[in-house]
């Protein structure tokens, strides 16, 4: 689904530049001490980020690092409000406030903040959704269940965001004002790095929601796990992960290191290219008057469905029934598998059975004439077709049941987090 919206006066979406949110950290308890801004440096730090390319400034006074010492709401207020007083009118970009407290959010919005960034996904404070609705402001909601970021794996991220978005919209928050955050980082002890690797690699799955995606990667622990380096030495690793997140569809990057991250973003989005769409501007000169007028009603966009689990969400958005979505979902993802060293006879049987199920197999010419004993073949089809083919091959003679098992295993491993990232 194409994303095209305006967040606090800044255009955000697939056809716009990836936006940068510079992070002003007022919390001495943070895991990355180099990110902490002293009260007297708030404005200079923000001005430097804007000069380096920040489109938004996000101000937070409470560390969300799970191992950080806890502070009271009063302490958060003592840090946050003076910083906002300094920034208001002195920084020429929208200010976002990173807080889970509804009354602090209200005060910040009254002072001129434009965006609320709630890592609890509107769950820590029951009044947060009401405040956001009342002020009509954009809100960043992070995937969470019981505590911030406790979603384990991309499937859990997706399920959590379905619930959070529904909650936000039911509270009256405008759909176009919701920004989603897939909760990268070690928010709970059991969230090991492979789950963050999976989330970044599969970030295109978030497109089903049709909302801007914010990615906060900067110097987090999964970078340290790969590099075996402390936060101060994780900049290059963070830039590498950020570039992949942008390539996979992130619209906003939250970072402590604006200048260097900005360079990576610009290169990554250039390589990513455009979403595939077609509409009136593509054909208007070649159409007669009647067809040109009709073209106003039509457009085409390519959907990037990489997991059949997400397909029902796309179907639901066009009004298809839940039953229909469940029936059709396995038809949405196409796989191409190479099977090595099968006998010519087995290859011909696989070809015949594939064609009878709507998929196909590419064979070398020698297989048809039986001029060779064994061949490699390329099998192609939807997940549904290939699973049905494997089920049929399980009942065949020779080594076809073994081949069927390998095909089924390969298909399952597309969705096996431990196999792919562990």
Q: Identify the helix (H) or strand (E) that includes residue 12.
A: strand 10-13
* C-alpha separations of 187 from 145, 181, 252 in Å: 12, 13, 20
Query: Residue 186's closest CA among 228, 235, 149?
Result: 149
For residue 322 the two structure tokens come to 């839940």
Rounded Cα gap, residues 133 and 149, in angstroms: 23
Q: What is the 3-state secondary structure (H, E, C) of 142-158?
A: ECECCCECCCCCHHHHH
List, by residue number, the catalytic residues. 220, 254
Classify the phi-psi angles of 254: left when phi > 0, otherwise alpha if psi is within -120 to 50, otherwise beta. beta
Output the furthest CA–CA distance in the chain (Å, rounded). Answer: 82
Q: Are 359 and 379 in contact (CB under 8 A)?
A: yes
Phi, psi (deg, nearest 5) at residue 320: -70, 155
CA of residue 13 relative to chain centroid, distance: 13
The CA angle 89-91-97, to the nearest 5 degrees, is: 90
* C-alpha separations of 410 from 155, 253, 308, 361 in Å: 19, 34, 15, 16
Q: Which residues of 250-262 are buried (b: 16+ CB within 10 A; e: fewer)?
A: bbbbbbbbbeebb
């Amino acid at each position: 689904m194409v994303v095209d919206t305006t967040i606090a006066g800044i255009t955000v979406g697939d056809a716009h530049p990836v936006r940068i949110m510079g992070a002003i950290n007022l919390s001495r308890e943070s895991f990355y001490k180099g990110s902490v801004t002293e009260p007297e440096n708030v404005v200079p730090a923000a001005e430097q980020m804007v000069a380096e390319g920040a489109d938004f400034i996000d101000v937070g006074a409470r560390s969300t690092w799970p191992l950080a010492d806890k502070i009271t709401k009063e302490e958060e207020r003592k840090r946050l409000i003076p910083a906002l007083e300094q920034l208001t009118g002195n920084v020429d970009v929208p200010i976002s406030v990173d807080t889970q407290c509804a009354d602090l959010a209200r005060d910040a919005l009254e002072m001129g903040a434009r965006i609320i960034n709630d890592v609890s996904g509107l769950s820590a404070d029951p009044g947060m959704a009401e405040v956001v609705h009342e002020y009509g402001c954009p809100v960043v909601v992070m995937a969470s269940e019981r505590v911030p970021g406790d979603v384990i794996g991309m499937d859990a991220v997706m399920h959590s965001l379905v619930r959070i978005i529904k909650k936000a919209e039911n509270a009256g928050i405008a759909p176009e004002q919701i920004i989603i955050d897939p909760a990268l980082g070690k928010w709970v002890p059991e969230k090991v790095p492979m789950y963050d690797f999976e989330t970044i690699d599969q970030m295109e799955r978030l497109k089903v929601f049709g909302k801007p995606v914010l990615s906060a990667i900067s110097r987090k622990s999964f970078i340290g796990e790969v590099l075996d380096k402390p936060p101060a030495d994780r900049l290059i690793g963070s830039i590498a992960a950020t570039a992949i997140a942008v390539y996979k569809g992130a619209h906003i990057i939250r970072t402590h290191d604006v200048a260097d991250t900005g360079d990576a973003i610009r290169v990554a989005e250039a390589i990513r290219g455009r979403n595939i769409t077609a509409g009136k501007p593509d054909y208007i000169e070649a159409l007669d008057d009647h067809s040109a007028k009709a073209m106003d009603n039509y457009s085409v966009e390519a959907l990037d469905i990489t997991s059949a689990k997400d397909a029902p969400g796309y179907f639901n958005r066009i009004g298809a029934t839940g039953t229909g979505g469940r029936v059709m979902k396995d038809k949405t993802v196409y796989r191409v598998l190479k099977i090595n060293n099968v006998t010519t006879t087995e290859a011909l049987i696989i070809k015949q059975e594939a064609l009878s199920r709507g998929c196909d197999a590419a064979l070398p010419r020698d297989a048809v004439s039986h001029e060779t004993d064994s061949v490699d073949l390329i099998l192609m089809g939807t997940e549904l077709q290939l699973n049905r083919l494997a089920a049929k091959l399980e009942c065949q003679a020779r080594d076809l049941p073994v081949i069927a098992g390998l095909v089924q295993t390969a298909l399952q491993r597309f969705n096996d987090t431990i196999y792919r990232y562990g």
